[in-house]
């Protein structure tokens, strides 16, 4: 057998190479919502009004003082100054719930009936919507959803467009349009339907153990199958370097990204990542919530999700929801199992 002798300089380099080949160190940040999620009085089963309505569309409740304090507490954690109050337009939206239920696939309604305990229509929420996990003896058993009616004065396409545009700034003649529905279905009810799907995605992800519990002091996503090769922690993904302006993507902000020079490029980069929408790229929890909503909206209901760039009188399609693309296949297959569908 021939014997090889390594030069000394290679022997000295080996430890350095081994260190550099180790898995990337991941810093799991502290979870600021842990105590709120676990101990907040308004998120305990005993605080709800039982029996619930027979089906989820009959479970709307007026915002009570306990739930208002729940919202104020999370806004304070987030540094949001808004003080939520009950909406004086609540009844207008409550009346839309039965129609939305009829439009949902049967399996979606089964899931909602099982896990949605209450829906509250509010104002001054600080965003379109928010969900909270309901606990019984510290265990997650379902959730409640808060909807801001001030964001729901627009039909689906106009609502989705207004939300998407909060990320960008626009020059003269520049604009963006997000198409969530065909024109004949472009209604306020369908805007509300998509919001409910997204918020329910947050609820089912915790109750069905798709994501690490919100009550954990540190939330490590690496051992959860859905997030494999996507997220390491809630805020650090495997694809951060692939999106040039990743750190600038902030919804409900004043628009940090110039749309014409950087935004269009961002959507092009987004197509090569597993994030099914731009909102899905902001954190791990919204990756699943957007995947769930997109799966129901695009795959099960066959509806569009398109982003168009507008320059003067010209409009160009620059992005379509990624749940149907090859980059979204692992998420689609995961959701197929939840819905009992074979691809």
269-297: average pLDDT: 97
**Model pLDDT for residues 126-157, shown as the tens digit of each residue:** 888 999 999 999 999 999 999 999 988 899 99
Q: What is the DSSP string of 212-249?
A: --TTSSB-B-TTSGGGTTTBSBSS-BTTGGGSTTGGG-
**Model pLDDT for residues 220-239, shown as the tens digit of each residue:** 999 999 999 999 999 999 99
Closest CA to 280 of 115, 164, 159, 140: 164
**Model pLDDT for residues 27-75, shown as the tens digit of each residue:** 899 999 999 999 999 999 999 988 999 999 999 999 999 999 999 999 9
Kindly state the greatest CA–CA separation across the chain. Answer: 87
Average pLDDT of the chain is 92
Residues 70 and 108: beta-carbon distance below 8 Å: no
Helix (H, G, I), strand (E, B) or coil at 24: coil
């Amino acid at each position: 057998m021939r014997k090889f002798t390594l030069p000394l300089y290679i022997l000295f380099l080996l430890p350095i190479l081994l260190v550099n080949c180790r898995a990337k160190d991941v810093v799991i940040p502290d979870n600021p919502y842990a105590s709120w999620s676990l101990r907040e009085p308004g998120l305990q089963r005993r605080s709800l009004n039982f029996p619930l309505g027979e089906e989820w569309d009959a479970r709307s409740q007026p915002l009570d003082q306990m739930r208002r304090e729940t919202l104020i507490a999370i806004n304070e954690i987030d540094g949001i100054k808004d003080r939520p109050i009950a909406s004086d337009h609540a009844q207008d939206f409550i009346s839309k719930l039965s129609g939305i239920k009829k439009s949902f696939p049967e399996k979606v309604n089964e899931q909602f009936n099982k896990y949605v305990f209450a829906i509250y229509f509010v104002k001054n929420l600080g965003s379109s919507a928010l969900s909270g996990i309901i606990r019984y003896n510290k265990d997650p058993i379902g959730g409640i959803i808060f909807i801001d009616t001030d964001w729901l004065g627009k039909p689906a396409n106009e609502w989705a467009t207004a939300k998407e545009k909060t990320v960008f700034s626009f020059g003269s003649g520049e604009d963006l349009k997000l198409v969530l529905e065909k024109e004949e279905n472009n209604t306020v009810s369908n805007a509300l339907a998509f919001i409910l799907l997204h918020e329910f995605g947050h609820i089912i992800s915790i109750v069905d153990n798709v994501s690490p519990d919100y009550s954990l002091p540190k939330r490590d996503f690496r051992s959860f199958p859905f997030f494999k090769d996507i997220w390491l922690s809630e805020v650090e993904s495997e694809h951060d370097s692939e999106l040039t302006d990743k750190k600038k993507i902030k919804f409900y902000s004043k628009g940090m990204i110039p749309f014409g020079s950087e935004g269009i490029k961002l959507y092009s980069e987004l197509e090569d990542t597993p994030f099914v929408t731009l909102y899905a790229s902001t954190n791990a929890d919204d990756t699943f919530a957007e995947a769930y909503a997109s799966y129901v909206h695009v795959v099960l209901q066959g509806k569009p999700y398109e982003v168009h760039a507008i320059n003067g009188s010209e409009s160009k399609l620059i992005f379509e929801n990624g749940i149907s693309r090859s980059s979204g296949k692992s998420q689609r297959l995961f959701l197929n199992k939840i819905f009992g569908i074979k691809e």
